[in-house]
Amino acid sequence: MAAPPTRPHIVLRPSSYFKATDTVDDDAWDSASDSEEPAQSTFSFPSWSRSSTTAPKPVPKPITSDNSSSTTSLAFSYTHLNAPNPSSYPPRTTDTPQPPKNGWTIVRTVPGRRSSNDTGSSNQDDSFDHVPSTHGDADVEGDMILGDLDPEPTGDPSHSVLDSSKSSSIRADAENIVNDPLCGIRRPAPISKKTKDAISENPEKSDKLMRERSIRSNRKHKFVDCLSSQDVNIAELRKLAWAGIPNELRPMAWQLLLGYLPLASPLRAATLARKRNEYTSLVEVAFARDREGVDQQIWHQIEIDVPRTRPGVHLWMYGSTQRSLERILYVWAIRHPASGYVQGINDLVTPFFQVFLSAYIDSDPEDYNPELLPKSVLDAIEADSFWCLSRLLDGIQDNYIFAQPGIQRSVRRMADLVARIDAPLFSHLESQNVEFMQFAFRWMNCLLMREISVQNTIRMWDTYLAEGPDAFSQFHLYVCSAFLVKWSEKLRQMDFQGIIMFLQSLPTQGWGDHEVEMLLSEAFVLNSIWHNAQSHFNGK
């Protein structure tokens, strides 16, 4: 099979809101130009050429100030002529997570508590009461308090990317899960020996440990009961999902929340079979004539971007994963000619692929070799990822059409919002000639995936999907605003160059669920205050 060609780079056109110098930094998309040679493909096609493409527009010269020329180049070039810098992705860390950090203004934190990987729930104290019961577990007082008990097993991140012997933990019921996602739903396991020993060794902490475990177990039971219903109550599922979805329940929950999986369980097997067959047919048609039949412009850019997706993560270094990603992106691009493939969409596939892969294995998806999977399982993951990506992008497609009006509108609204919620920060950015488009473009284009890890993104998307179909455009605006304001004190001590450099390499490497949930809580407060005051925004 083959994959998509590339379209000319889209150059943003300054709106009347911005000065004539408004641009985006050269790391906004972190992609190579069309003049680059793509990484070596595993496909061998006869050479085929298209008519010449439109060259990128020249970068406008900024209004100069006392900033250095190197700073100006960094801030104002957005033709994306440089290869992506792996540092634009938060590196994976295997160190023990550090205790959560304070610094938020509206939602208070309890230092020292962290969330467990096996629940995805928050660990805040009663200060999370800012979030109404419609988004949380109202009947469980400590729903958001979790301990580091019984972490789920993960793969060894130190093994070689080519060493598949350590990644062979396929679930015994994987083939059954393909046709019936309910097979992958497991109720909470009995209390483990590790937890029993911890309780016996620390009698004074036993009450706390048992309470935390009871809270987690109670949440899982609620999810399982909801997902196992003959007809899933979507309102109840959204209420549960807002505070995070347990790992083993997330694949099915996401597909239901996106509307890909039917709520009525008798319809699911037939729907999955039909949609997966439809995707297979789309792939066969798209690549029926190999390279001669593909759009060279789209395919060329995908060929460049795919090998650079999530650099350093083992899963995305395997050929089978890259081939799946190429097919997903190309089929989506030719089905959406108004936008085609735009750099950054490749990042948006990765959470879906990793979450759906996790349904079939008992190890860390990021360290798993997908070539070990049966073909039917890998095909199902690819098809499900394609359809769920399509549903996500349906709500934000104006972010990727010509001139990207959705992103420009969101950045304008973000600037207006920050001016109201943190006037000193806004004034400082203005005094340093920092335009929001210089850093927020990438935040909107890639949904903050270049700023936080995929694990953080997955937790964030639990809440986005619970918020509804507009969350990836509307709620994301408030998340980005809260994200910027979080660094307000530091930013107000920096000059132009320091601000731009800091915002391109934020200290989020050690973030876990706790930090993401605090960010979501802050965004919820902003959303509650400002969402119904649209007339206050200049850009609508």
- Which pLDDT belongs to residue 98? 47
Contact 3, 332 (CB under 8 A): no
* Coil, strand or helix at 144: coil
Report the candidate in 138, 131, 337, 330 with the shortest Cα–Cα distance to residue 218.
138
Nearest to 84 by CA among 296, 299, 310, 303: 310
- For 420: left if phi > 0, alpha if psi spans -120 to 50, otherwise beta; the answer is alpha
Q: Which contacts qualify for 33-41: CB closer than 8 Å, 24 or more apart? A: 33/9, 33/79, 33/80, 33/81, 33/82, 34/6, 34/8, 34/9, 34/297, 34/300, 34/301, 35/81, 36/83, 36/304, 38/300, 38/303, 38/304, 38/307, 39/303, 39/304, 39/306, 39/307, 39/308, 41/303
Token pair listed for 81: 């002529």
pTM of the predicted protein model: 0.70
Q: Express each pLDDT in 214-255 by its tens digit.
A: 666 788 999 999 999 999 999 999 999 999 999 999 999 999
Name the band, by pLDDT with cuts 50, 70 and 90, for residue 159.
very low
Three-state SS sequence of 111-136: CCCCCCCCCCCCCCCHHHHHCCHHHC
Is residue 480 within 8 A of residue 272, CB to CB? The reply is no
Residue with token string 């104290």: 125
Residue 27 neighbours by CB distance under 10 Å: 23
| Dist. CA 472–CA 465, nearest whole Å | 8
Q: What angle do CA 113, 115, 118 make, to 5 degrees?
A: 150
Return the structure tokens found at 6: 């590339």
In this prediction, residues 392-401 reach a mean pLDDT of 92
Q: Band the pLDDT of 435: cuts 50, 70, 90.
A: very high
| Residue 59, helix vs strand vs coil | coil
Mean pLDDT across the chain = 75
181 against 162, higher pLDDT: 181
Decide if pLDDT at 11 tops 50.
Answer: no
- At 290, the pLDDT band (50, 70, 90 cuts) reads confident
The span from the CA of 282 to the CA of 285, in Å, is: 5
Q: What is the pLDDT of residues 466-497, one digit of tens each?
A: 998 789 999 999 999 999 999 999 999 999 99
Top-ranked range on mean pLDDT: pick from 71-75, 203-207, 358-362? 358-362
**Percent of the chain with pLDDT strictly greater than 90:** 55
The b-or-e profile of 178-210 (16+ CB within 10 A means b, else e) is beebebbbeebeeeeeebeebbeeeeeeeeebe
The pLDDT of residue 68: 39
Across residues 143-151, what is the average pLDDT? 34
The pLDDT of residue 210 is: 60
Do 107 and 124 meet the contact criterion of CB atoms below 8 Å apart?
Answer: yes
CA separation for the pair 212, 143 (Å, rounded):
9
In degrees rounded to 5, what are phi and psi of residue 361? -130, 165
* 253, 241 Cβ separation under 8 angstroms: yes
Structure tokens of 475?
A: 């709620």
| Bridge partners (DSSP) listed for residue 231 | 264
Q: Which residues touch 497 (CB under 8 Å, ≥6 apart)?
A: 67, 68, 70, 71, 74
CA atoms of 486 and 470, how far apart (whole Å): 24
Give the pLDDT band of residue 212 (cuts 50, 70, 90): low
**In the numeric block, which tokens belong to residue 525?**
């407060």
pLDDT digits (tens, 9 = 90+) for 490-528: 999 999 999 999 999 999 999 999 999 999 999 999 999
Average pLDDT value for residue range 351-374: 95
Query: Whole-angstrom Cα distance, residue 170 to residue 358?
Result: 10
Question: How many other CB atoms are found less than 10 A from the CB of residue 534?
Answer: 9
Higher pLDDT, 333 or 119: 333
DSSP 275-301: HHHHHHHHHHHHTTTGGGGS-HHHHHH
pLDDT tens for residues 307-322?
A: 999 988 999 999 999 9
pLDDT at 168 over 80: no
